[in-house]
Amino acid sequence: MINNSANHQQDSSPSLDAASIKRVKEGVAAASDRAVRYTIEQALNRLEAINQGQTEHQINGSVRRFVVRSLIHTLFRVRVENIENLPQTPAILAANHLHHIDPLLLLAELPSQPYYYILGDARTLYNKCWKRLILNFAGGVIPLARLWKEEVAVIEAAKAGRPDLAELATAIAQNVPTGGDIQTLRQIDRIVLGILAHGDGMILFPEGRLGNIEGKLHLPLKRGTVIYALRAGVPIVPVALIGTHDLYLRKQLTIRFGEPLHFPPHTKTSRQEVETALEILQQKIVSLLPPNYQEPKGIKILRHFLNHILW
């Protein structure tokens, strides 16, 4: 096995500064918002209908690509490497994750067919009205309910004796779904496997959270990416995203595609099969990342705005 400690980011627990606590309060408010809950429920219902042969996405893949590409290329310079590695058949793209803009960056450069879906944090996707309007129109997103790392930190701090966080920790427990219940997990499984069986593709971020160091993975990787690939019988394409952790106007961002990984399909997967495939995937993503990334120097125009626009 690869030594996780050698590559593990030193961010096991986020610092509970004022910004983190503010984000948690906003997250709890979103979880309590009826409009957010309704939008998530409707999106999941539409996605489940794919298994009955219906099409969920409302706009053509070419239109979506044009709109997203126009936006991304207005703000940034984009370099794409080895795009010929992308299969023309359904696949799972497995990328490192440094910023909420990462899915949009990928969608801007991917071909319009197959149509790629994104599995993303539900509250980050739908916490603002303008996001809900755009995503309801465009489709192509699977909202995932889950606790944020900052929320976990608040709960742990409250248990450890922070009375100032006790009320907030209670609000998290009462309002924020963890996404770990059997019913939710099975629903997401049905949706993802239905999308792949329908001939479309998936973009997944196997770290399961945002990283905070360029060129490093947050380990261990989550097993879901490999399990979906084995059960659906589709290849995994390892992808490295470079430069997206700290954004500013006209910064160069790089997408580096690796060669597809093909594994024998299994309706039922053993732990050993999953762990072996996951180790290979981890090695391939790490090999695509820059070993000694250096952040560019100079003036960084619109840095704060671009780093926070999708929060």
How is residue 101 annotated by DSSP?
A: T
Share of the chain above pLDDT 70, in %: 95
Q: What is the mean pLDDT of residues 186-208?
A: 95
Higher pLDDT, residue 138 or 124: 124
pLDDT over threshold 90, residue 116: yes
Query: Domain extents for the chain?
Result: 16-291+298-308
Strand partners, 202: 92, 117
Q: How confident is the model at residue 35 (pLDDT cuts 50, 70, 90)?
A: very high
259 φ, ψ (degrees, to nearest 5): -75, 145
Higher pLDDT, residue 9 or 60: 60
Q: What is the mean pLDDT of residues 172-187?
A: 92
Q: Are 281 and 236 within 8 A, CB to CB?
A: yes
Looking at the domain that runs over 16-291+298-308, which CATH code has it been given? 3.40.1130
Q: What is the mean pLDDT of residues 283-292?
A: 96
pLDDT over threshold 70, residue 299: yes
Closest CA to 132 of 262, 237, 38: 38
pLDDT over threshold 50, residue 208: yes
| 224-232 and 182-197 helices, crossing angle to 10° | 50
3 state SS for 153-204? HHHHHHHCCCHHHHHHHHHHHHHCCCCCCHHHHHHHHHHHHHHHHCCCEEEE
- pLDDT tens readout for residues 44-76: 998 998 877 777 766 788 999 999 999 999 999
